[in-house]
Amino acid sequence: MNEQQTLAAARRGDERAFADLVEPYRSALQAHCYRMLGSRADAEDALQETMLAAWRGLGGFEGRSSLRSWLYTIATNTCLRAIERRPKRVLPIDYGPAADPHDEPRGPLVESIWIDPFPDAEFETGSASPEGRYEALESVELAFIAAIQHLPARQRAILILRDVLSFSARETAAALDTTSVSVDSALQRAHKTVDARLPERSQQATLRSLHDDDLKRVVEGYVQAWERKDLEALVSMLAEDVVLAMPPEPQWFKGRDAVGTFLGRFPFGSETRVRLLPTRVNGQLAFGHYVWNEGAAAYLPGELSVLALRGREIAELVAFRTPDSFVGLELPPQV
């Protein structure tokens, strides 16, 4: 069946037809919800609510807009309601000032306020072209996700609909029940806020600029430094102004000396043995850290480190220190 036939069958209550109708949009809608909410788990909840609302409201879909626009309208407004019910998602860098690496760790916060990672394996760009995939991955990089969380919710929605999804001002206004003039004004304000928080170069641009051999050296060097507990080797890979954050722990560190001091005191100063496996999240280099467990006689998931490069140097290292960060990754449960 073509889309119109499938739509007609779904309207008659055919659940399989409805599943076939929305399946091509599911992955992209989940990524949209992640951009809006900054949380993979919240995005999954919002996606399920969107699908339920679409199923219940299918009889009211008159086809005056595309099915894609209709689904994104439902998803966007679902996310706006979710934002009203919970605190803003941030990275530790936006939570408080940099910590002293000589201080004792303060422990994780109980509140769910942290941005979390989104696996590339779950992200379908919807474009077969390298350029389309490049632009789509830029829209889920950690720096972009963190920056847009600082926008008021409707500004955030407008920026994503206009800049990421290429909705027209008229389509965006219809989705948010406002005017095109208001959309254009809000978009200008959103650009000003976000541009001030983004790095000069995206990770997609940086990764593209590196030769395969350079990238291989970064990956292999990072893995070997951790597995051999070679602090000097790891510190040599860091930019002078490197940032280290470790959600859900609130403290973070800035500068090669501070980061090196902290790493030397704790992960590199312990007897814990680790193994690292490379992966990709948020369009960035990432590594699953597995920690030796005597009871299991195996290395089990510990934390997920996500790197932001500046050239061949590590400019930012975000270590997500919860087992949930491995969900959706194409990594084994133990090594």
Contact 108, 249 (CB under 8 A): yes
Which of 40, 108, 104 has its CA nearest to residue 248?
108
Helix H segments across the chain? 3-11, 15-37, 40-57, 67-84, 130-138, 142-148, 153-159, 169-176, 180-197, 203-209, 212-227, 231-236, 256-265
End-to-end CA distance of the chain: 45
Contact 123, 27 (CB under 8 A): yes
Residues 15, 325: Cα–Cα separation, whole Å: 32
Whole-number pLDDT of residue 277? 98
Position 235: which residue type? V
Cα 195 to chain centroid, rounded: 18
Contacts of 120 (CB under 8 A, 6+ apart): 137, 279, 280, 281, 282, 283
Angle at 90 between CA 88 and CA 95, to 5 degrees: 105
Which of 121, 159, 127, 123 has its CA nearest to residue 36?
159
Query: The whole model's pTM is what?
Result: 0.94
Residues 206, 184: Cα–Cα separation, whole Å: 30
Residues 277, 17: Cα–Cα separation, whole Å: 40
**Which CATH code fits 89-141+202-335?**
3.10.450.50
3-state DSSP call for residue 95?
coil
Which of 253, 251, 218, 252 has its CA nearest to residue 236?
218
**pLDDT tens for each residue of the chain, 335 residues long:** 788 899 999 999 999 999 999 999 999 999 999 999 999 999 999 999 999 999 999 988 877 889 999 999 999 999 999 999 988 899 999 988 999 998 877 778 767 799 999 999 888 765 557 777 888 899 999 999 999 999 999 999 999 999 999 999 999 999 999 999 999 999 999 999 999 999 999 999 999 999 999 999 999 999 999 999 999 999 999 999 999 999 999 999 999 999 999 999 989 988 899 999 999 999 999 999 999 999 999 999 999 999 999 999 999 999 999 878 999 999 999 99
